[in-house]
Amino acid sequence: MSWRQRSGPSLSRKRWPPAGGKVMILAKMKWPEVQAEVEKGTPVLVPVGSTEQHGPHLPLDTDMAICYYIAEKAAERSQTIVAPPLNFGYNEKELMFPGTISLRSETLLHCLVDICLSLARSGLRRIAIINGHGYNRFLVPQAAHMVMEKSEALVAAITYWDLISDLVEKHRESKLGGISHSCEFETSCQLYLDPAHVDMSKAVEEVPPILSKYTWSDLASASPVYIRARFDRLSKSGVMGNPLLASAEKGKIWVEAAIERLADFLERFKQDFDHLLP
């Protein structure tokens, strides 16, 4: 097999993409190796994130870095294939911040569908799209639905922080509105994974006003009503939340729990969903 070998525990936390142990990286495999996994019914993870501003203290790759790390480590534990990451997402709301790159919503949708259909046509019939960017979450389930309509694949749509919403709420220190973007949550994850690229001297707290009990205010809030707002109407710094309460210790709890729960799902995805396959 084509494995990427672990370089050591320190590098696994500070390198992007992270070093893995015996993890199957699709781009490093030969086609007969992929065929062998097809015959086993091995799932494949498709990571999607974004390249976007994350305030004055976090790098532009924050969404993808966290998501890909979780995907690769979960794949290592569950012996799942990891497809090349899609580093761009739907991000029209933040183009006023330099460095942000956005795909149009229809472009992202078509990219995800084409990627997954290609995998399905090669025989990989268990596909899990793992998402790390908030504004992708409306499109990822739609892409999964379209792929299942057009192929014989079973496609799961996952946004990684939904796997650990209980633990985010349990360990957070910020009030409602404190966990949204470049916030206590994302900053904690990056302090754990990539502290060399976090500049806490530039971190600022900026919590937008809560408009209504019915609308979205942070990761912990229910949001039966969706209202889209320009990002610069809500934040001048690019931060929505309170990164000043972030810590590597909380980041470790959240990241490692996401890895554990994603790996558990992937193990179940191998065998518990056969009756749903076409």
- Domain residue limits, the chain: 3-276
The pLDDT of residue 6: 35
The pLDDT of residue 270: 92
Superfamily designation of domain 3-276: Creatininase (3.40.50.10310)
Q: What SS3 class is residue 243?
A: helix
CA dihedral (268, 158, 186, 62) in degrees, to 10, reads: 110
Nearest alpha carbon to residue 261 among 130, 117, 95: 130
The segments of the chain whose pLDDT lies below 50 read 1-20
C-alpha span between 181 and 166 (Å, rounded): 18
Record the pTM: 0.90
Q: Mind listing the pLDDT tens digit for each residue in 48-75?
A: 999 999 999 999 999 999 999 999 999 9
User: How do 240-241 and 179-181 pair as beta strands?
Assistant: antiparallel
**CA atoms lying within 13 Å on the CB side of residue 165:** 10
The pLDDT of residue 232: 79
